[in-house]
Every structure is written in C-alpha cells, then in structure tokens.
Structure 1
C-alpha cells in the first residue's frame, strides 16, 4: 500500500488505541450487566427486550447521518467529543431513572448520542492505516482490552454491592471516553478523490459485492443480540456470581485480543473473505452448542469462540473497506456498515426477548439459523467472478 506524504500526527496509534479502550470499556459495563440491572428493577423479559432494542433502532438512524456529517466537517474528531459528552449526561440521568418508561427514554437517548462514536473513530483509524501503513489490529485490540478491564471491574463491583452500581460504572466509563475523545488525532477533512486507494472501485467501494458482504457479516453478528441480552441472566440463574459472569464475558474478549495481536501475521496468510466465511461458520456452531446446560469451565471454553464469531468478521470486513473504499467516503461507509449492523441487531434483540421468554435457552437455535443465512450470503459475496479477472473486470 502506498504511503501518504502527509505528516503523521504524534502518537497516532496510541491516541486512537486509548479512545477504543475507553469506548469499548462502556460496552464492558453495559453489555454484560445492564440486563441484570434491568432485571433488578423487576422488569420482565419482554420489557428488557424492548429497552435493549429501541436504542439500537435510534443508533441505526443516527450513525449514518453522523457519518456523512463527519465526512463534511473540517475535523471529524469533533463528532467524538460531542457524542461522548451527551452520552455522559444521559448515563448520569440513568442513575435517577426508575420504571420501564423512564429507563426506556433515557437509555434510548444514550443510544442515539453514542451511536456515532465508534464508526467515526473507525474512520479515523482506517485513515491512518491507509495513509501511513498502521496495523488496524494492533490499534483495535486495545478496545477489547478496555472491554475486559471494565467488565472485570464492574463485575467485581456488582459482586461486592449490587446491580445498582451499573449506571454509575457506565457513567465512569463515559467520562473516560470523553477524556479520550479530546486526545484523538486531528486529521482535518478527508482527502478528496485525487488519491484513490488500492483497488478502489468506481463507486467508492459500495458495489454490490461489498454491500452483500456487509449485509452478510452484520446478519451473522446480529445473532449476538440474544447473547448480549440474556446470557448474563441465564448464567445468574445457573448460580454464577458477578465475578464468574465477568470472567465468562472476558474469556471471549481475551480470545478476541489474542486474534487482534496476531492479526498482522494472519492477514498475510488468510484472505479477508476466508476470515469472514470461517467466522460465519463458527457462529452457527457456537449458538448450536450454547443451548447446552454447560458448567463454568465448558462455558468458559465455548466463550473463546467469540474470537471467530465476532473478531474474524469485523477484521475481515474492515480489511475489505480499506481495499475498496476511498478516504473521502470513509465515515459514510462506516456509517452504512453501522446501519446494517444496528438494523439487524435491533431486530435480533427484539425477537430475542419474545423467543427467550417462550423457549428459554433453546431459543439460541434460532440465532444459529440466522447465522447460517449470513454464511450463505457471505459465500455468495466471496465467490470469485470470472469477468473480474484482468483490467477489464
């Protein structure tokens, strides 16, 4: 990949890595423990499903708009500061919320406010990958490390006190995110189309195959909706404590961390398409096994498959975006990817509430079926085109 002659911001990789660590640290609090806090408010599974779904819908609407706006701003990082500040305010308001409607309102506003943060941060990071040859995996891995750290801290805090600590822990994580947002590298407006990226298509990478691949990947990743919403509740019902639940969540992310550390070597040997197809197949198998009543250690081992069902797909699609999308469309394309991700995750999370209430743990078989559809779509998108061989493809 050709390197840019533009000056490299000081500590570019470190500053992006800290922002990832803080932002995904928020998920380390909310994903494992927010449903447990909702359960402590005496909300039923259907209400929990609604509360988890509506913010995703709002994120679906706000992320693409924010992505297009970021591509037009003199400085994309401004969106990060605005997003983190509003999210912190909403998290503090959540400490005072009580009852279904109030929690739904505040958490929905938080979802809309925080939606632009990750796709815009991804666009800034991928710009560095494209301009100066940074390794995406070595930067993104710190987001997973932040997730594990906050998950363990929040789990220990919940074990020592109660679920009421969750909104306060989320507020602390959002404060760190706001601080990190001020430190994200300022790259100015994205370069114009005079410097095309490698193998850039005429439509800036939004051709049918990349779009189909984004849909397939996000469809597979949406099957994590039931896992995000109800795994902690299931493990708690099985007698696992807050610390054990924190370790179960962390195990998958630790496997993800290992992958990101090795991603540079892996990417030299395995194509993005192969990573995506393997990860899709692993997701089908993961949810088939998830229906089994596993003890702690087998459950911990199964959690390590998260590196395949999530990290392989995420890294693979980001590599495809680097290959095919021009910098001037980076935030817009990341917003589109986030749109597909949010739309399918919202549908999955909404259905999960009803399915889990009706069938319990066997409802994960429905997630396996959805992952199988995503695998089929990814297989079609990755299939080589004979007419694409040579310069006239």
Structure 2
C-alpha cells in the first residue's frame, strides 16, 4: 500500500513512540511487580542504556545509503517485537532477562537515529516538515502513556509486556507500507565519502555540542527510571502518574508544532543554553515538590529540557552533508540518549535509596555542567571535508 512520505513518517513515529511510551515509564514498575529491588532495577536500566548506546552506533554505521533506511526500520521493528515476547517469558530468570533486554535495547535504540535520518533526508529532498512529523511521535507518546498507564493501573503492572507486544506488532505492520517518493541517494560520491565517528568528533563544535546536550538529556535519567516509583510512593496513583507523563509530552508537542516559528532566529547554542537552564530549574523544583500542581508545572518544562535540546541538535545535523547524517544521528542518540543516561541512571540507582530529593539535585548539577561545554556560537554549519 502506497502512502505519502509525510504520512509514512508520521505513522512510523506514531507506532514507535506509542510503544516507547509504555516501555520507558512502566518497564521499571513491571520489574518491581516481579520482586526486583530498586537497586537492581537501577542497574538493569542503566545497563540497557549502555546497550542502547552500542546499538545506536552499530546500526547507524551500517547505513551508507538513504535507500537502505526503510528496510532497516522494518527489520528493527520486527526484531523488537520478538524480543519483547521473549522478555515476558523469561522475566523470572535475571540472566536471560538481561540478555534479552540487551538485544532489545540495541534494536530499539537504532530506531531513533535511523528514523530521524530518514526524516532529515526527506526534509532535504522534498522539504518535509520535521517538526510536524516529529510532533506526531510526541502526540503518540502522550496518548499512549496516558491511556495505557490507566489500563496498566487497572489491569496490573505485571501485564505491561503483553500490552507492549501488541503495540510492537502494530508498529511493525505500519512499517510495511510503501512511501512515495522513496528516499534517494544524493550522489554516488556522497555515498562513498564516508567518515568515521572519531573523524566527526574532531570538529570542535560538534564535540562540544554533543557533550552539552548529553549532560542535558542525561539529567533526565532519574526522571525516566524513578518518577513513577517516586510519585506512587508519595501516594499518587499510577493512573495519575501517567497523566503527569502525558502532560510533559503535551508541552513537547506544542513546542515542536511552533518550533519553526518560535526559533527561526535562534542559534543552536542559544537553544541549548536555554534548555540547560530550564533543566537545572526543573530538577531542583522536582526535588522539593510535594503537591500535584507543582509537579505538573515541572512536567510542562519537559518541552524546554528535552524537546528544545532535541530540536536544536536535529537542526544542526540536518545542515550536515548527507553522507555524515546517519552517523551524526547515531552519535547524538548514542551519547545523549544512551551513554549519558546509562551513567547517570547508575548514579541515580546508588543515590535514590538514600534520598530521592538528593537524586534530583544531582541531576540538576549535571544539567548545569552543560553550560561549560556548549559553544557560544556555532560558526561552521557543515562538517569540513576530512
């Protein structure tokens, strides 16, 4: 079945983030329902982010042509579905669960940079509006985390993986549609002009931007892993925590929708500075927040702490040569969404049993450190030929 590039990308983002919205907040609660301790959950989640880092870089490095992006996403979707089923079957054996989660994390992580690379390719070739297609993913996340959070609260956390299986089947099926036009390789010389990850990081602006955004995105580690557990320990129902998560993503949707209008004259550096300041304020506030209203206000800041930084980096990467984009997306996702979160999740896992408040204060300090690395001005828009 043929569909437009915009529709294909929108359905792809929708399917991916519907499933991801169940996995991120409720997978730790699923582990807890199977008698895993908070310390063990922290280590399991931290290790999964390390494998996400490996998978994001590995699969991104294998993509040399834009024409390979579609099939790569399809294989990753079906593979992820199989691994979700396996995790549900082996949950009582920590070592088998660890192995299945490691492979799943590698496959799932690759979906992000490859999807963004495909969207960026179409943005260059047919002027696809990245912000509007990506906000479809955010809408899916908000809808899924709210709806399925309510269902999981009613049905039980131990049923989370079976809901996730159904969502992955739907996601894999929508990937089988044929978009029109298909993504095209720009030139044969561009395909051959491949560079290594280390060569890309020799560009000082790229390196400093990646360090800065990694500290900002990594500071979300405690929120991703412990927010549901933390809020339920304060007497907030599981269905209410899903609404709080959905509220954060709703704010993200609004930012993506108006991004091209709001930030047309903002530099990448200014966007990241603002995102870092917002993250410091958000985590310090959350460390002391007890009322639902105050927690809700911190959730609205997700548009600034996550979405603004993500928008800045995608805009930067979109300006790079096509032959560099897949690896830059892999580096960005691998460093900021995987490696940084893995390290800071492990840190949070040690601090959280001592004090939840101190855990979020530590995240605020990490976000503040980003201000030391973000370059004041990104002078070069394109990575110089190496």
Same-fold status (TM-score > 0.5): yes
Q: State the SS of the aligned residue for 2:26.
A: helix
User: 1:1-393 residue pairs with structure 2 within 5 A?
Assistant: 11-72=4-65, 74-99=67-92, 100-183=94-177, 185=179, 186-189=182-185, 191-192=187-188, 207-323=203-319, 325-341=320-336, 342-378=338-374, 381-383=375-377
SS of 1:71's equivalent in the other structure is coil
Report how far residue 267 of structure 1 moved. Answer: 2.7
CA-to-aligned-CA distance 1:168-193 (integer Å, 9 cap, x gap): 11112211221232236441445455
| Residue 263 of structure 1: how far off its partner (Å) | 0.9
Any idea what the Cα deviations from partners look like across 1:207-252, whole Å, max 9, x if unmatched?
2102210221122101111110000001111111121011010011
Distance 1:318 1:134 in 2: 14
1:91 is displaced (CA, Å) by 0.7
Query: What CA distance in whole angstroms lies between the structure 1 residues aligned with 2:178 and 2:279?
Result: 33
- How far, CA to CA, are the matches of 1:277 and 1:184 in structure 2? 40
Unmatched runs of 5 consecutive residues or more in structure 2 = 192-198, 382-386
Q: In structure 1, how many angstroms separate the alpha carbons of the residues matched to 2:202 and 2:332?
A: 10
Stretch deviating more after TM superposition (364-373 or 185-194): 185-194
| Greater Cα offset, 306-315 or 78-87 | 78-87
Query: Any conservation in 2 of the 1:76–1:189 contact (CA below 8 Å)?
Result: no
Separation in 2, partners of 1:165, 1:190:
46
CA distance in 1, matches of 2:204, 2:129: 27
Distance in 2, Cα, partners of 1:299 & 1:36: 20
The change in CA–CA distance for 1:74 and 1:134 in structure 2 (over 3 A counts) is closer
Q: Retained in 2: the 8 A contact 1:213–1:382? A: no
**Alpha-carbon contact 2:59-2:110 (below 8 Å) kept:** yes
Contact 2:200 / 2:328 at 8 angstroms: preserved in 1? no
Shift of 1:55: 1.7
Q: CA deviation at 1:84?
A: 0.8
Q: Normalising by the residue count of structure 1, what TM-score does the alignment of the two structures yield?
A: 0.89
The answer for the alignment partner of 1:200 in structure 2 is none
Which segment drifts farther, 52-61 or 222-231?
A: 52-61
Q: Distance in 2 between matches of 1:369 and 1:184?
A: 46
CA distance in 1, matches of 2:162, 2:237: 20
Verify the 8 A CA contact 2:3 2:178 in the aligned structure 1.
no
- The 8 Å contact of residues 204 and 326 in structure 1, kept in 2 or not, is answered as no
Change (3 A) 1:190 1:210: same
CA RMSD of the aligned region, Å? 2.2
1:248-286 deviations in Å (ceiling 9; x for gaps): 100110000000110120132323221111011100111
CA shift for structure 1 position 39: 1.2
Gap runs ≥5 in structure 1: 1-8, 196-202
